[in-house]
Amino acid sequence: MPPKDHPTTSHLVALGTAAVLAVYGVGFVRTQAAAARLDGEKPRRRPPAPVAVAQHSADVSISAPATAEAITKGAPAAGQALKVKPEPKGDAASAMSGAERPKITALASAIGDTATKAPADTTRTFPDLKDGVYTGWGTSRHGDIEARVEIRNGRIFSASIAQCLTMYSVYWIAALPPQVVKRQSPEVDFISGATESTNAFYDGVVEALKKAK
Amino acid sequence: MKVGRFFRTPKGLLILALGALVVVAAVGTGVALVTPGVLAAIATAMLVDAPLIRWRRGRWHVPDGALLSGLIVAMILSPHQPWYVASVTSALAILSKYPLRVRTANIFNPAAFALVASFYIFHTGQSWWGALPELSPFALILLVATGAFITHRVNKVPVVLAFLGSYYTLITLAAFVGNPAHVAELYRAPDLHAALFFAFFMVTDPPTSPPKHRDQLIYGTIAGVTSYATFALAGVVYFLLAGLLVSNVWEAWRRNAGRTRIRQLGTTR
């Protein structure tokens, strides 16, 4: 049983509560504009991909890195609307910038090293893409992701996650890079529970492909 | 102990409070989605703890502490995890209680320890869905009301105020000194809900937190400062839990130092 509240104790509790609320209130107001900006970005739609969605003409097995418990949805046909499962809001998120968020480099490099190298659609080429290795950043309220794509002979030869600065383990989205190569497109499946990270990876690939043009 | 009487004890009340929250949160998050994890976590925790209690005390007891640990683990883990992840995590929580002890109490908050371990073993996400982040702002009132009630009943108000005070003071300072966008989410759902749930139901854990008010202030401040420092420096998803584990270590040191002092006094007399 708690001790009977002494008047002084009650006053201290009231004072302490008021102080916490005041500090919280000041911080809340101070960050309101930034939060509104982030909220505005939240329900964004995917921008049109710079590379057309390729037809799945061949079913080539690609050695994907460990996908952990990521639950990927079935691959949609070209142009078919993706079923999006909303990401649970509860994932403790932050809005730390890519520059300041510590890098999960070990995990990211693990994924990067095992990035798929096998092109799936051997017929599809994009002559406007220049050969080379390109990177692009995608952002989300859970942190930023740097995607890397390698273009060879007008095709996406490999894709990987160069840096994963999200508050999740990179393994949650490890299934995505092989899909980019397989589909010759940044259109990847959404992963349940990691929708925003999926979007960030998509944006990163889109940006990288823009650089390749 | 009779059932009615048990539910008037702090532990019984905590089970009722978390039970109420988990029901409301399940409705908001999806009953089918969260049920496997909740059942797996609770059942595993109780099944692992029951024989250990029997072995230690010599007779069977209902492992009510394990029920709480399992419930907290399930309410924090992402419901998108497979049920066995919740199961193994809650087993880790129970197993961490026995080898890591100072005097009669475990050093680490079992749920916090297991959730951090689970992050590295399974790469688990932590959604804190049990803190009602996906419901209307009125749900926050339910969370605060149940939390404040339990905090008062276990006589841990100072530790909650010290934690929330130091944590939000540092975040507010960061918002003024640096880019407000870096910390904006911490004032809002789901991070706000997570911080409150953490403060009311985890930082106040009686076996791992100090009983005296002065010590509670230090303990809560350590948790708040290290939580923020972990967020700012490491950016890991378990930054709150990391803060709690550090303050657990301080409390274990304090308890051990107190015992050493008592021994020294005994030998000089």
Sign of CA dihedral A38, A92, A197, A167: positive
Residue B199 has pLDDT above 80, yes or no: yes
CA-based nearest distance A178→chain B, Å: 20
CA-based nearest distance A127→chain B, Å: 40
What pLDDT, on the 0 to 100 scale, is given for residue A67? 32
User: Residue B207 in contact with residue B154, Cβ under 8 Å?
Assistant: no
- Whether B191 sits inside 8 A of A17 (CB atoms) is no
- Whether B29 sits inside 8 A of A93 (CB atoms) is no
Which of B89, B153, B237 to substitute to test the interface with A, most A CBs within 10 Å?
Answer: B237
What pLDDT, on the 0 to 100 scale, is given for residue A5? 58
Nearest chain B alpha carbon to A98: B182
Instruction: List % helix, strand, coil for chain B (3-state, nearest 5).
Output: 75, 0, 25
CA-based nearest distance B104→chain A, Å: 21
Chain B CB contacts of A38 below 8 Å: 181, 184-185
Comparison of pLDDT for B153 and A142, the residue scoring more:
B153
Render pLDDT for B115-142 as a digit per residue (tens, 0 to 9): 999 988 887 778 888 998 878 788 899 9
Residue where the block lists tokens 């070209």: A78
Comparison of pLDDT for A98 and A179, the residue scoring more:
A179
Sign of CA dihedral A59, A61, A67, A68: positive
Chain A CB contacts of B119 below 8 Å: 169
Residue by residue, what is the 3-state secondary structure of A179-201? Answer: HHHHHCCCCCCCECCCHHHHHHH
d(CA B122, CA B114): 11
- Whether B168 sits inside 8 A of A172 (CB atoms) is no
Nearest chain B alpha carbon to A16: B161
Nearest chain A alpha carbon to B185: A94
Nearest chain B alpha carbon to A169: B123
- Whether B85 sits inside 8 A of A101 (CB atoms) is no
Chain A CB contacts of B134 below 8 Å: 88-90
Classify B105 as helix, strand or coil.
Answer: strand
Which of B170, B187, B238, B240 to substitute to test the interface with A, most A CBs within 10 Å?
Answer: B187
Q: Is the backbone peptide bond immediately before A2 cis, with ω within 30 degrees of 0?
A: no
Chain B CB contacts of A172 below 8 Å: 123, 125
Nearest chain B alpha carbon to A86: B29
User: Residue A64 in contact with residue A172, Cβ under 8 Å?
Assistant: no
Q: What is the ipTM of this complex?
A: 0.88
Q: What is the DSSP string of B55-93?
A: HHHSS----HHHHHHHHHHHHHB-TTS-HHHHHHHHHHH
Render pLDDT for A102-119 as a digit per residue (tens, 0 to 9): 333 333 333 443 344 444
CA-based nearest distance B269→chain A, Å: 33
Render pLDDT for A82-96 as a digit per residue (tens, 0 to 9): 222 333 333 333 333
Of B80, B124, B172, the CB nearest to A71: B80
Render pLDDT for B14-23 as a digit per residue (tens, 0 to 9): 999 999 999 9
Of A34, A101, A192, the CB nearest to B181: A34
Copy the structure tokens of residue B7.
């539910």
CA-based nearest distance A150→chain B, Å: 28
The angle at the Cα of B64, spanning B58 to B70, to the nearest 5 degrees, equals 120
Render pLDDT for B27-61 as a digit per residue (tens, 0 to 9): 888 898 899 999 999 999 999 999 999 998 888 88
pTM of the prediction?
A: 0.71
- Whether A20 sits inside 8 A of B164 (CB atoms) is yes
What pLDDT, on the 0 to 100 scale, is given for residue A3? 55
